């Protein structure tokens, strides 16, 4: 009851949709810099809510080239090396709201190769077992948001099965 009350207060203050960002480290291409120049990142995270993209130098009207960073704001910006557990801990309360009857949707958006599958499913490899060559087995080095959420929801549902009958729909 306390969790539901607090979640309702947070929903009223922040709204129901949250947008998080975990950028991949983007590097300046080696062809655009001299051999002695360091590989500098073009993304910086000055706060937990802001992401800066440092664009290429453009000539100014005064004859001096300038860079103007583009700023984007999110509910939370994670560093590129944030762990899956760090991401999930930020979203855990919202996920647990599903047990209180709220609809929950976790989704990832981005370009091909930007890390959506890594964030949602995790870091895994498929291995064929010697016993059953037909069905590959997934070996996880780290579980993504979906797997962590399902694991926690199923564990809680099992523990409270005497009082509640939980049903889940995953698409």
* Pair 46, 52: CB distance under 8 Å: yes
Per-residue pLDDT of 39-73, as tens digits, reads 346 777 888 888 888 777 667 777 777 767 788 88
Among the residue ranges 85-89, 100-104, 137-141, 164-168, the one predicted with the least confidence is: 100-104
What token pair was written down for 96?
């647990």
- Band of pLDDT at residue 131, cut at 50, 70 and 90: low
pTM value is: 0.70
CA atoms within 13 Å, Cβ hemisphere of 128 = 4
Could you give the CA distance from residue 25 to residue 114 in angstroms, rounded to a whole number? 10
* Pair 150, 169: CB distance under 8 Å: no
Residues 6+ apart with CB under 8 A from 110: 116
């Amino acid at each position: 009851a306390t969790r539901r009350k607090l979640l309702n207060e947070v929903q009223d203050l922040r709204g129901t949709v949250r947008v998080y960002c975990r950028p991949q480290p983007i590097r300046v291409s080696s062809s655009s810099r001299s051999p002695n120049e360091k590989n500098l990142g073009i993304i910086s995270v000055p706060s937990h809510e802001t992401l800066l993209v440092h664009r290429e130098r453009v000539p100014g009207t005064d004859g001096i080239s300038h860079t103007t960073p583009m700023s984007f704001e999110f509910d939370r910006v994670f560093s590129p090396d944030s762990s899956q557990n760090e991401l999930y801990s930020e979203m855990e309360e919202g996920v647990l709201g599903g047990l209180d009857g709220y609809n929950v949707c976790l989704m990832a958006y981005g370009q091909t190769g930007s890390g959506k599958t890594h964030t949602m499913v995790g870091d895994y490899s498929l291995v064929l077992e010697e016993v059953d060559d037909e069905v590959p087995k997934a070996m996880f080095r780290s579980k993504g948001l979906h797997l962590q959420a399902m694991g926690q929801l199923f564990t809680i549902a099992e523990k409270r099965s005497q009082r509640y009958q939980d049903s889940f729909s995953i698409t």
